[in-house]
Amino acid sequence: MADSDDYASLDHVEMTVRELLTEMKDTSEVIVDLAYAALMYNSEDMAEKVNELEKEMDDLKFAIRFKVLMSSRTKEDAKQLSGLLQVASAADKISDSAADIVDLLDLPLERRPFVSAMLYESDEKIRTTRIRPESSIIGYTIGKLGIEASTGCRIIALKNRQGWIYDPEDDVKIRAGDDIIVRGTEDGYKQLVEYATGRKPWEFPEISEDDEVTPQEEAASINDAEEEDG
């Protein structure tokens, strides 16, 4: 039996397995984007954030192993939970690779001349834009706007008056003059720029995130709305 001291020595052990896995999956996605962005923009700060996230990922990995092993009671449990642990390991492996990628920053810039130009041509673009004072997204949080859902662009970093925030949470507010680094398709990026410059007003998703609705209900209500429009 683990006594309370042993238990407390593990970080994140208060989180549920579900929360841990969600966190690991999300981190595994954003960390790779951040790593490439660090190379593209030759940013030590971003690289540091990547290393921080990678260490965090190690802690999450131990916490999830611990919790999963504690909860396994039967052969069937063990079978299904082994799949879950495999996913967690994969997410961790991705973050290790991201950390390896930013290690390339240790080389002087002239030794890696082609990397920035190459990454600029990626299918999924990493791009920057500035929020203009005329933009209608000012004053709203990233979560309220649902920027990723509407434009397919994920904000991987944001610079405001306080400095850089990497992998900003949903409760971060967009302010005039903020610089954001996003990752998404060319199309989505163009849409986002329209909103950021105020050339187009933001369209809020019809369903508020606070409402408890199933995806099916959501889909149905959106279909209804479309029929009314037509």
- By CB under 8 A, tell whether 101 contacts another protein: yes
Alpha-helical regions (H) of the chain: 4-8, 17-40, 44-71, 75-103, 113-120, 142-145, 147-151, 186-197, 215-229
Tokens matching residue 20: 């841990």
Q: Contact region for another protein (CB under 8 A) — 1-9, 52-60, 75-83, 129-137? A: 75-83
Q: Residues 117, 123, 126, 130: what is their CA dihedral angle, to the nearest 10 degrees?
A: 110
Looking at the Cβ atoms of 3 and 206, the one nearer to another protein is 206
DSSP 8-state secondary structure symbol assigned to residue 62: H
Task: Give the Å distances, CA to CA, from 172 to 14, 122, 129.
Answer: 24, 28, 17
Kindly state whether residue 15 participates in binding another protein, applying the rule CB under 8 A. Answer: no
In the complex, the smallest distance separating the C-beta of residue 177 from another protein, rounded to whole angstroms, is 25
Give the CA count within 13 Å in the CB-facing half-sphere of 175.
11
- By CB under 8 A, tell whether 70 contacts another protein: no
Q: Which of residues 176-205 bind another protein (CB under 8 A)?
A: 184-188, 191, 205
Positions in the binding site for another protein (CB under 8 A): 17-19, 21-22, 25-26, 28-29, 32, 36, 79-84, 86-87, 89-91, 93-94, 96-98, 100-101, 103-104, 107, 110-115, 117-119, 121-124, 146, 148-150, 152, 184-188, 191, 205, 207, 215, 218-219, 222-223, 226, 229-230
